[in-house]
Amino acid sequence: MALSQDILAELAEIAPGSPLAEARAAREAATRHAQGSYEILFSQQDSDFALDERFAVAAKVAKWHNAEALAAHYAGFGLADPTSARLTPALSFARLLTFSPAEATPGALNALTQAGWSKEGIVTLAQLIAFVSFQSRLIAGLRLLNDRPVAASDVAPVAGVWHTNATTITGKAAPVAFTQQELGWEPWLAARPLADFRDDEVAILAKFGHTDSDYFRLLGRNLPVLEQRTLTDKGIFYTPGGLPRAERELAATVASKINGCIYCASVHARKASQLSKDDSAIDALLAVRPGQSLSEGQSARWQAEINFAAALSVTPPAASPLHLAALQKQDLDTLAQLDLVQSTAFFAWANRLMLTLGEPWLS
């Protein structure tokens, strides 16, 4: 069995030349690098995390998302024994990242280390789980836009829980509420020292402006995946036309509220506030307590977008044709709808890395 040439188009049943195919072509970088991320993750010949282990984890994560066709795709490859001493803690880690990433602690990483996982293997494992979480939501969203059936979910799209410890594991003051202020972030797993990168690898980090970032140097333990992921991010958020940038940042903030990621929300709420010039609306969103609706009190357009993003962000995704109809009532065309799907889905990936590989601190 071979990797798909365009797995999203295949599993969302997107016909060439259709309006959705044309919208994806208009977002060529996002389309190409989402596919590139898939190809890199599932082709690397890496002794730190073998391919049969990768397919076993991916199939399980896709199944947890009710992405049955995606799960079957990954299960079609050779799968490692899920009860092995290495995969048992890896699948426990995968369940944590899938359903409750805000509950992660350094103990989950320690369990992997004790089972023989290297730092490079742990980073790739986290990337793979987070990527399949993103990929599953992209397929669900694309199927909705393509008028194809999607799996039902009874999970309520409400604000999630978040960390409330007042200090980090190293003793720094930690945020205990969502905020627009700038925060620091420290890893629970050692970042790769800059001196350990080759010159060409340093050039890749420098291209994205992140040679001094612990987060990027940690993810740089698998640099090809990091590069594809970063290019996917830029293809989703930094492209002209379609959904206004402020509303893409709004979607990122909503996903971060669902997943309980204070750090990601601080960055993207601040951007949404600056771009929309509606600081009070963003503050109201950030102030929503766990278990409450995220859209109350917002404008009709933002309510439709927030409700869609929240429903796509829960696990398994709960976005439905009714959510899509509300977007269409607000005159979001196919390209704008695609931007909303991709902006939301990407933060299923981003939040899961931020929440499970480290924690924020008050800078």
Task: Write the pLDDT tens digit of every residue in 222-261.
Answer: 999 999 999 999 999 999 999 999 999 999 999 999 999 9
DSSP classification of residue 171: S
CATH architecture of 158-211+242-362: Up-down Bundle (1.20)
100, 103, 109, 115 alpha-carbon torsion, rounded to 10°? -60
Contact 323, 8 (CB under 8 A): no
Work out the percent of the chain whose per-residue pLDDT is above 90. 96
- Say which residue the tokens 């402006």 belong to: 209
The C-alpha atoms of residue 89 and residue 91 are separated, in whole angstroms, by 5
Residue 210: its pLDDT value, please?
Answer: 87
Beta bridge partners of 360: 185
Longest dimension (CA), the chain: 56
CB atoms within 10 A of CB 48: 18
Element (H, E) at 361: strand 358-362
Sequential DSSP letters for 55-120 = HHHHHHHHHHTT-HHHHHHHHTS----TTSTTHHHHHHHHHHHHH-GGG--HHHHHHHHHTT--HH
CATH numeric code, 7-145: 1.20.1290
Nearest residue to 132 via CA among 327, 316, 337: 316
H helices present in the chain, as ranges: 7-12, 19-26, 28-41, 51-64, 68-75, 87-99, 106-114, 119-145, 199-207, 214-219, 223-237, 245-259, 262-276, 279-286, 300-313, 321-329, 334-357
Cis peptide before 316 (omega within 30 of 0): yes
Beta bridge partners of 188: none
**pTM (2 d.p.):** 0.97
Amino acid at 182: E
Q: What is residue 210's three-state secondary structure?
A: coil
Band of residue 46 on the pLDDT scale cut at 50, 70, 90:
confident
The C-alpha atoms of residue 311 and residue 317 are separated, in whole angstroms, by 6
Q: Let me know if the fold of 7-145 is the same as that of 158-211+242-362.
A: yes
The C-alpha atoms of residue 344 and residue 253 are separated, in whole angstroms, by 9
Residue 49: its pLDDT value, please?
Answer: 95
Domain borders along the chain are: 7-145, 158-211+242-362
Task: Write the pLDDT tens digit of every residue in 105-163.
Answer: 999 999 999 999 999 999 999 999 999 999 999 999 999 999 999 999 999 999 999 98
Contact 67, 136 (CB under 8 A): yes
Average pLDDT over residues 97-107: 96
Residue 1: its pLDDT value, please?
Answer: 76
User: What token pair was written down for 341?
Assistant: 């799907």
Task: Write the pLDDT tens digit of every residue in 254-308.
Answer: 999 999 999 999 999 999 999 999 999 999 999 999 999 999 999 999 999 999 9
The C-alpha atoms of residue 96 and residue 104 are separated, in whole angstroms, by 7
The C-alpha atoms of residue 306 and residue 246 are separated, in whole angstroms, by 13
Element (H, E) at 185: strand 183-187
CB atoms within 10 A of CB 164: 12
CA 244 and chain centroid, separation: 20
The C-alpha atoms of residue 201 and residue 67 are separated, in whole angstroms, by 35
